[in-house]
Structure formats: C-alpha cells, structure tokens
A and B are shown apart, each in its own frame.
Chain A
C-alpha cells in the first residue's frame, strides 16, 4: 500500500488517480440515468476541489451523452453558521451560477461529505439566487458522521472513518499533486 508522510503522522492512500477517475465516471453515468432532462442540470461545485470535480464530471457527461451541461461555483463561507466561533475565518469566494435557477436541477458537488454543514450552507446560498426545481448532492467521498439530516444522491466511495481521522483529497489541477485520496489516523 502506498504511504505518505506528513509532519505529524503517516497517511494511507485510499484512492489513486485511476480510482478517482472511475468513481467520477460512474457518477457521471448515474447523473445521466437519473436526470431525463440533462439540459436543466447545473453542476455547482464548492470551492476549491468541488469546482474541479464538477468540471471533470461535466467532461465525462459531455463524452457519454454529448451534452454540454452547465457548471457553476457555490461559495459557502459566508453562509456558514459558525462565524465568530472559529479561530480562523474561511476565505470567501464569489459564487457563480447560471440564472435563473427556476425549473433547473442544481447538483451540489463537493470532495468530502462529512457533517453535512457545508452542504446545508450551500443549499442556503443557492436559495439566495432563486428557487431551483430540485437540489441534489454529489460527493467523491462520504465519510459518515452526519450532524444534519442530509444524504448524498451520488457517492464516489463510502469510507467509514473515525471522527478523529482526517481525509485529504488531492487533485492535480488544484493542489499540484497527483490525484489521490489520503486517510490520516490521529
């Protein structure tokens, strides 16, 4: 098994580039299968890696279904419920969604689904742009430990973890590191 050393402790490679590619390829097929009207779909990535994952899924959908589906960016930092309680402020990014959202299906795309709080903030942000017909959720990794009643519609890999463990997704275009998913034990 591939290993990665950090200052604190060694990490275990859970997925490599090929595994990530296959997972996103499958998600693309599931999105095509479950959305009869693909043209109404918007893939809204959460910065930074969700945006890159959304771009890759859109590319696969273009390859398979020959349809250019729209992508966007949905910033959650200014919609979080823990401002003022964190030692460090999350960086805010501009959101960018194709408007109007009415009668469209917005699929929120993120790298790791954990407590669900980011997704809640994303839904809150989307609703400030309008009222889509439906909102769905895609995540490369679902690591459990939800704190809110939220579930993903499309999951690349279910990864049971302990709360103290850390999951790191690394994507070439974002991190200038080879594509990989790492698990760090505490």
Chain B
C-alpha cells in the first residue's frame, strides 16, 4: 500500500487537488486514533528533526505542531523572532540555511510576509510547512476546520459555510475558502464592506454584509478572531459597533439551525465576535477543532516529512 503523495512541502490549500486534501483528511483519521491509545506516541518520524520557526507570535499553532512532532517521535527545536538572529540582521534565507546545515528535516514557518514559506521551500531540501504567512494562507488551520466539519456533519459538499469577520486580512479565511470550495461547499463571507470586498466573489463564494440574512441557512458558522493587534483603523468600525453588526450574540444565535456548528480558530474574544453562552454552548465545536488540529498536523508532518528526499 503506498500513496501518490509526493510533496515535501505544504504551502497552501490553493495548490492542492481535491484528492490530496481528502488524502490528508483520511491520514488524519488514522492519527486521531493514536490519541486514544494508552501510549500516544508512534515512531513514524523517529530520528527526524523539526524546527518550529515562528517569526510572528503564536502559542496554539506552535504548541500543536510541537505536540504533533512529539507524538511522531521527532525532535523539536523552537525558534521565535526575538530569540533568532533575524534581530541581528541575518536574512531569512541565511537563517534557514543554517538550520538546514544542522540537518533540520522539517521547517515549520510562521512569517508576517506572504510567500515566505514558498521562498524557502524552493531553496531548501528540508520540508517546509506553512504555519501562516501574512494574509495569504494558514493551510493546517484550513484543514483542521474542514476535518472538523467532515467529522461532525459526515460530509463537506453542499453544506452552507458562513465565515464571519476580517476576511481581507485573514489567512485562515483564504485557506478555508480554497479548501471548502474545492470540496464542493457553498461559502458565504460576512463582514463590513471594508473587510469583505466584493472581489472575493471571484473565488467562487458569496459576499454578504448582513449577518442576520445568512445565519438561518448556515450549516456551519466560522467566526474569525478580531485581530486588535493588526487592525487598521480605517478598515474597522470599532469593537462595539462590530459586535452589534456582526457578533454572534446569544440573541443572534437563535437564528441558527439547531444542527449548525459554531467554529472559531481561537483565541476567542468573548463578548466581541462571540458571546460566552454561544462559545460554550452545545453547537460549539471550538475545542474539537483544537483536538483535530493535532491529528491533522501529525498527518501533514508524516506525509511531508516521511518521504525520502
């Protein structure tokens, strides 16, 4: 039994075929089962070294990759922007080549510039996994969202998926849009017109600026985090106004179908994009997303890091 997987890198869902996406999800099924064992560790990547290279801050994605690597028996080094020589003026390429000289087999990169993972993937023999590049893609988040939808609803095609928030600057949204549309879902993007421009319709999705119109037909509502730290004033209406117009409040949640899933990539801003009652409610699968993220990342590391280079 062997696969047709022949990628050393995972840069985005935009470049993957439907078969490749489904294959990652099926592989993740097998790795999810490992989490239920008495010993939650397999030797699949024994002897491999993974470098978590996070030029932008992150806790949950980095920790998830780290734990995924541990469960596959790989060795892990964490490097953050402040502890790397980037602050001393070293270029990204030189830092990466140094890591490769240390025989790092897999490089997990988070970077504020779109295209940084691709830049390195073309220049390094190591596997490069994109853990978020600027406003471009965050493929493992997209995959874990799709995995969670498929797990809870049994399918993805023909479901109505509503993504709410700052779509323009969201890499999570882009990875979701690419993956979900490929798998046949209907995607509606909702948010202020400054953050959800009509141009997105070219990607095969629907754009709406009125959340109350779309919630009643949604099978999944995925709420993006309002990124205070990155939010530019001219685009954003203000927190209170955003919550009033687009927040999934307790009252607004009554519009949802009883089996509609509520998702959020985290960390959640309670009372801003989502009310506590909804985040902790029966329809919320936010913590399932975290658990599934581990399985999906194990699958990605196994597939990209396991092939002979």
Whether B33 contacts A95 by the Cβ 8 Å rule is yes
When C-beta atoms are compared, the residue in chain B nearest to A100 turns out to be: B38
* Residues 33-58 of chain B, each 1 if its beta carbon lies under 8 Å from chain A, else 0: 11001111111111110000000000
Partner of B34, one of A78, A83, A84, A86: A78
Taking residues whose C-beta sits less than 8 angstroms from the other chain, chain A's interface range is 20 to 34
Whether B308 contacts A92 by the Cβ 8 Å rule is no
Chain A interface mostly helix, strand, loop or mixed? loop
A-B CB pair tally, cutoff 8 Å: 85
Whether A130 contacts B38 by the Cβ 8 Å rule is yes
Whether A79 contacts B42 by the Cβ 8 Å rule is yes
- From 21 to 76 in chain B, residues with beta carbon under 8 angstroms from any chain A beta carbon are 27, 29-34, 37-48, 72
* Residues 11-28 of chain A, each 1 if its beta carbon lies under 8 Å from chain B, else 0: 000000000000000000
Whether B306 contacts A89 by the Cβ 8 Å rule is yes
Partner of A90, one of B1, B39, B309: B1
Whether B31 contacts A128 by the Cβ 8 Å rule is no
Chain A residues with Cβ below 8 Å from B5 are 89
In the assembled complex, the Cα of A47 lies from the Cα of B1 at a distance in Å of 9
* Residues 107-148 of chain A, each 1 if its beta carbon lies under 8 Å from chain B, else 0: 000000000000000001101111000000000000000000
Q: Does A93 contact B (CB under 8 A)?
A: yes
When C-beta atoms are compared, the residue in chain B nearest to A127 turns out to be: B39
Give me 22 A-to-B residue pairs in the complex whose CB atoms sit less than 8 angstroms apart, sorted by A's number: A78-B31, A78-B43, A78-B302, A80-B44, A81-B43, A83-B46, A83-B306, A84-B47, A84-B48, A89-B3, A89-B302, A90-B1, A91-B3, A92-B27, A92-B299, A93-B30, A94-B32, A95-B30, A96-B33, A128-B39, A129-B37, A130-B38
